[in-house]
Amino acid sequence: MRNKDSVWEHFYQDGTHYGRDRFHKKAWCKAELDHKKSILHSADKAAQYTGADTPVRDDDALTKDALSENSDVTFVSGKVDLMIKHLLACEHVSDDVKSHIQTHQKCRQEIKSTSKKIKEASKVSISNTTQGSLQRARPDTMSSNGKLVAKQQDEFNQDICDVWAACGIPWNELSNPAFQSFVHKWIPEASVPNRQTISDEVLPKRVSEVEAFHKKACQGKLAMGQCDGWKNVAQDPIIAMMMTVEDQVHILRTHHVGAARKTAENLLMLIKTNIQEARDNYGVEWVGWCTDGSSESKKARRLLFNEMPETINPDCAAHQINLLVADYFKIKEDFVSQASKAQDIIKWFNNHSRALEWLREEQKHTMQKILALLYPILTRWTSVYMALKRLLDCMPAFRALMLTHTRQDFCEIAGTDRKARERAVRIYDLINDGNFWADISRITFHLEPLTIAAHITEGRVTRLDQVLLTLGNLFYIYSKMVG
């Protein structure tokens, strides 16, 4: 049996035929169906809210009623081209789905065109495409035993190394039976290299080639340096030195600084060492150096400017934007409490699978999609805004949840522990608090310009004039902002 086209993912079917067509089934657009179910569900909620003794229909009942003869949800023939045409014209289908369907439509058209050409070409008898003829077509790449010659095998090994490195695949996967079977099936003339061959022979050669390429590309060009510190998986303090040349970032060196004191003088010494090495190895001309806004970094840049007054040594603009977010919460102390309460809601629902499933069901009915609740991470500079914005996006589902579940339901989820039940009650009351949602809305409104500015300033090719324009735009926005 032929596999169904992926377009069926966007359609519902009950197995009935389309009229007298014995080869195609009826197909209902899921977007239309979900929209109708949402209307019916809202009607049930409204009736229940007004005191009517009407039960809220479950998902199966909503689907049955939405597909009834009295419903305005119509079906189409299960022909792929007709279903694609419907999805592109349907007002309830999202833009992302339409974009995907357009791409799928182009692929189908290309496949049809290719199939037509193949059929036409098959009428002209040229030769059968066999492994023997394939080998005869390129004798320069084959040895006498039917394997790739040494030059071609080396090139194959290099390509394998590049793919493995780009995809982050462990070298051990080269010996995976599934991968070896794939190569033997489709490229039988090639030998799969082992882990030792790639890591000990091919990788060092490729590293040298890449370094030589970048050194040639950077020769005589202008370079802007930057450095930043963090702790790796082993909790070792690391400082990475990088330079940007013609919009391309190059890693110079990473320094383990565990035993050294975190002083501006020591940081300056590392910066000067990398500047000189880059001059010698890459032949670049330095125009400046950028760091974060810490006290030792600022002093190191000031000392560097004293020795190299021709350079520009700015703060990291993205880091400064992040500090503005921290300053915002210092000024708006009342919002700190509300943001903390928002995190409590996010954490509570993510830690209670039953409550989370309730929320997801309401999201499907009220929003026609399921959104995950995001927890902010301090090292992700825009995560505070994104977490609060996502919580605000889910507000209709939270409000609907309050109509179908009581405070007692929340307590049952919490279990028998007194503190856990008290916390569940606080979460329930918080969701019902209109002032809380108003404050979250104001916070996201205030943070949105800073989030956009952070995305602009952290760009790999951001220029100083763009930073200046971004800061000016922030000043203009907040000068006009009220409330």
Tens of pLDDT, residues 132-151? 434 433 555 565 567 888 89
Report whether pLDDT(60) > 90.
no
Where residue 84 falls among pLDDT bands split at 50, 70, 90?
Answer: very high
Domain 220-315 has CATH 3.40.50.720: no
Report whether pLDDT(432) > 70.
yes
| Contact present, 358 and 295 (Cβ < 8 Å) | no
What does the domain layout of the chain look like in residue ranges?
6-118, 140-215, 220-315, 323-480
**What's the confidence (pLDDT) of residue 142?**
60
Position with higher pLDDT, 314 vs 123: 314
Percent of the chain with pLDDT over 90: 53
Among 114, 86, 111, smallest CA distance to 101 is for 86
**What's the confidence (pLDDT) of residue 332?**
75
Report whether pLDDT(127) > 60.
no
104-113, 124-133, 137-146, 225-234: least confidently modelled range: 124-133
**What's the confidence (pLDDT) of residue 128?**
45
Report whether pLDDT(118) > 70.
no
The whole-model pTM stands at: 0.62
Q: Side chain identity at 173, as an amino acid letter?
A: E
Residue 23 CB contacts under 8 Å (≥ 6 apart), including other chains: none
Mean pLDDT within 151-163: 93
Residue 373 Cα distances to 347, 394, 401, 409, angstroms: 8, 8, 15, 21
**What's the confidence (pLDDT) of residue 411?**
92
Alpha carbon distance 6, 283 (integer Å): 53
Pair of tokens at residue 388: 């609060």
DSSP helix/strand/coil, 258 = coil
Q: Which residue has the tokens 């990291």?
A: 316
Residue 95: what are its φ and ψ, rounded to 5°? -65, -35
Pair of tokens at residue 468: 């200046």
55-64, 156-165, 179-188: least confidently modelled range: 55-64
**What's the confidence (pLDDT) of residue 138?**
53
DSSP helix/strand/coil, 254 = strand
Where residue 2 falls among pLDDT bands split at 50, 70, 90?
Answer: low
**What's the confidence (pLDDT) of residue 130?**
38
Residue 160: what are its φ and ψ, rounded to 5°? -60, -45
**What's the confidence (pLDDT) of residue 136?**
38
Mean pLDDT within 106-127: 65
**What's the confidence (pLDDT) of residue 205?**
93
How buried is 357 (Cβ within 10 angstroms: 0-12 exposed, 13-18 middle, 19+ buried)?
exposed
